[in-house]
Structure 1
Amino acid sequence: MGYSIFEKTMADMTWQEVEKASKENQIVLFPLGVIEEHGPHLPLGTDSYWSYASCKCILEELNNKGQQALIVPPYYWGINHCTGGFPGTFSVRPETMKAVLMDIFNNLHDWGFHNIFCNNCHGDVIHIRAILDAIKTGRNEFGLNIRILVDFYDLSRIGLKGDEDFILVLNPEYPEEFYAGMDKSEIGLFDIHAGGYETAFIKHYFSELVNEEVAKNLKSTSLTNKELEQWGRGGEATRTLVPLGYAGNPAGYKNIVNLDCIEKFTVEYTVKRIMESLNGKA
């Protein structure tokens, strides 16, 4: 997979190709992320790279199913409350983020697109709420079918029930064998930021961006429930808790030996849910 986050997005298309896609009623995939610290071993753009790479995989699977789609250039000027105390972590105001997203939705509406699926790979609650606010307003003002992909386990954390018409809930049942080789001591702990899985994902798709020498020597800092409360306070509270800027087990990325299987399963499930929603079944 290429390094450029514009590869295979609308940024590499001509305006005539975009016009043709809208007339064909192609669906739109919108990768959403941020620029924030990800420990001493991963780049600031990790969440944006993750969201973009996922959308590329979803696009390819949609095409395999006969459904044409295109990808909006990745959005990365998001909100970073928790990690905002680290240099390199950019953050915009919620109203700024909502305004930009609304302008993007308006553009897509004016060009004739209707079905938009947002893929966000950043867990900051304030960031997610700004996206949800923009989506709900965009649906009402422009009559667009905008949905955001939401993991089932995140519903309560962001105050959703799961039946909202502006979300598409993802709850795949992964085979147990996918987790073979994982460090048993890490199972059930909160590997939430720049940990094993995130490191493995970036290593898989953007190998040159991972500092493996640093990652393999980092001690696990998976958080407890109490520590998660401190993490959520942001600023110095977060830096005191995780001074190197990661919360998880980066060294454990080598134990995730079935990443290909996990990602393939996730993409196929996501495409299935997208197709169901287009057919009024989700």
Structure 2
Amino acid sequence: MSGKVKLAEHTWPEVKMLLERDPVAVIPVGAFEQHGHHLPLMVDAHLAGSVCEEAAERACEDGTAIVVTPTVWTGYSPHHMDFPGSVTLDDETFSAVVGQVARSLAHHGFRRIAMINGHGGNMNLLKNLTQTLFYEHGIRAAAASYWDFALAELADWRESDKGGIMHACEMETALMLATRPDLVDMDKASDHLLDRSAYFGADLLSGGAVASAASFRELSPTGVIGAPSFATQERGEALFQAMVARLAAFFADFATWPRNDQEETRT
């Protein structure tokens, strides 16, 4: 059994053989946007891809047939476009791009496709896409952000107060210190907590009840929402491994879900 999990490293005959094992296909979905003065534009794409690849390797070692596509490197980020370097797709283009990747995989026989997200702005579109892929194309699709699988661990891990984990924050900075410390400049990291209505989400672990659009320039002059000053490499490594373990467990479970084309009834 091949231990390779990156689809890009397979030959087409290897993919054909893998399909005989009814594998899970994982599409990491990121973004290309500002992350303050201390983190690079690639944070969301890098973290989504890194967590997915390591989790897939762990699931593969435990017997799950699985591959990970190259990361969709840009996403839906109009709220970051006031900051130079940020790149966005509009909602229709984003859904079309990710959907075409999923449908290409399904064309070859992949019937369970997990879209693992690294940017909050993508999530509503990915949820909608799971419905389109299922009802219009017969694809069993799942969508989640990589941190969703480890929210309990994240709550225990954090040292910042409410508001400290949102964007270019304690969590993302620590994970970047763990995976790409060469791209982190902690001398330029500055905390910025939101002071807004309680109905507006200001922390990843305590979202608000109301959805409302806003430019990040309106919310933060630096582009940071959170407390990156609490981040350390050691703590980032511990959190990264916790997220990998939780995501690997999901991949193994997802591999047992019924394929849409195996179901006898639809509701």
Of residues 118, 135, 152, the one that matches 1:140 is: 135
Distance 1:131 1:26 in 2: 21
Find the counterpart in structure 2 of residue 271 from structure 1. 248
Name the structure 1 match of 2:237. 260
User: Is the CA contact 1:116–1:147 (under 8 Å) kept in the aligned structure 2?
Assistant: yes
Instruction: Encode CA deviations 1:156-208: one digit per residue, 9 max, x unaligned.
Output: xxxxxxxxxxxxx73653398745xx3xxx22224211012111111211122
**Residue 28, structure 1, aligned to residue 9, structure 2:** no
The 3 A distance-change label for structure 1 pair 136 and 176 is closer
- Alpha-carbon distance, 1:15 to partner: 2.0
1:27-106 correspondence runs (5 A) = 27-106=24-103
Deviation at 1:80, TM superposition (A): 0.8
Residue by residue, what CA displacement relative to the aligned partner does 1:138-173 show, whole Å, maximum 9, x if unpaired?
112221111012589xxxxxxxxxxxxxxxx73653
2:119 aligns with: 122
Cα distance in 1, alignment partners of residues 39 and 230 from structure 2 = 14
Residue in structure 2 matched with residue 131 of structure 1 by the alignment: 126
Q: Taking structure 2 as the reference length, what is the TM-score of the superposition?
A: 0.81
Find 1:222's aligned residue among 193, 207, 214.
193
- The residue identity in structure 2 corresponding to 1:234 is A
User: 2: distance between equivalents of 1:246 and 1:105?
Assistant: 32
Identity among equivalent pairs (%): 22
Provide the rounded CA distance (Å) in 1 between the counterparts of 2:154 and 2:167: 24
For residue 173 of structure 1, give the secondary structure of its aligned residue in structure 2. helix
Judging changes above 3 Å, is the alpha-carbon distance between structure 1 residues 175 and 112 closer, same or farther for their aligned structure 2 residues?
closer
Please tell me whether the aligned partners of residues 24 and 255 of structure 2 are also in contact (alpha carbons under 8 angstroms).
no
Q: 1:196 and 2:173 equivalent?
A: no
The one-letter code matched in structure 2 to 1:173 is A
Aligned residue identity for 1:268 = A
Q: Secondary structure at the match of 2:78?
A: coil
- Aligned counterpart for 2:221 among listed residues 240, 243, 247: 243
| Partner residue in 2 for 1:207 | 181
Matched-pair contact (CA < 8 Å) for 1:117–1:148: yes
Work out whether residues 59 and 251 of structure 2, in 8 Å CA contact, stay in contact via their aligned partners in 1: no
Amino acid at match of 1:59: A
Distance in 1 (alpha carbons) for counterparts of 2:100 and 2:154: 41
**Structure 2 counterpart of 1:195, which letter?**
C
Q: How many residues align?
A: 246
Q: Distance in 1 between matches of 2:106 and 2:96?
A: 15
Contact 2:39 2:168 in 1 (8 A): yes
Structure 1 residue 31: Cα displacement? 0.4
CA distance in 2 between counterparts of 1:142 and 1:121 reads 25
Structure 2, gaps ≥5 residues long: 203-211, 259-267
- Per the alignment, in what secondary structure is the counterpart of residue 83 of structure 2? coil
Q: Higher mean Cα deviation, 98-107 or 42-51? A: 98-107
What's the Cα RMSD here? 2.8
- Unmatched runs of 5 consecutive residues or more in structure 1: 1-6, 153-168
Change (3 A) 1:198 1:176: closer
Distance 1:176 1:136, change over 3 A: closer
Q: Quote the offset at 1:263 in angstroms.
A: 2.6
Q: Does structure 1 conserve the Cα–Cα contact (< 8 Å) formed by 2:75 and 2:88? A: yes
Q: Point out 4+ residue stretches in structure 1 off by more than 6 angstroms.
A: none
Given candidates 195, 214, 221, the residue that maps to 1:234 is 214
1:86-125 Cα deviation digits (max 9, x unpaired): 111111111111111221111101111111111101012x
Letter of the aligned partner of 1:174 in structure 2?
A: E
Whole-angstrom distance in 2 between the partners of 1:120 and 1:14:
26
Partners of 1:223 and 1:117 in 2: CA distance? 32
Cα distance, 1:54–1:82 mapped onto 2, change above 3 Å: same
Q: Does the CA contact (< 8 Å) of 1:26 and 1:69 recur in 2? A: yes
* SS of the residue 1:30 aligns to: strand
Contact 2:115 2:126 in 1 (8 A): no
TM-score, normalization: structure 1? 0.77
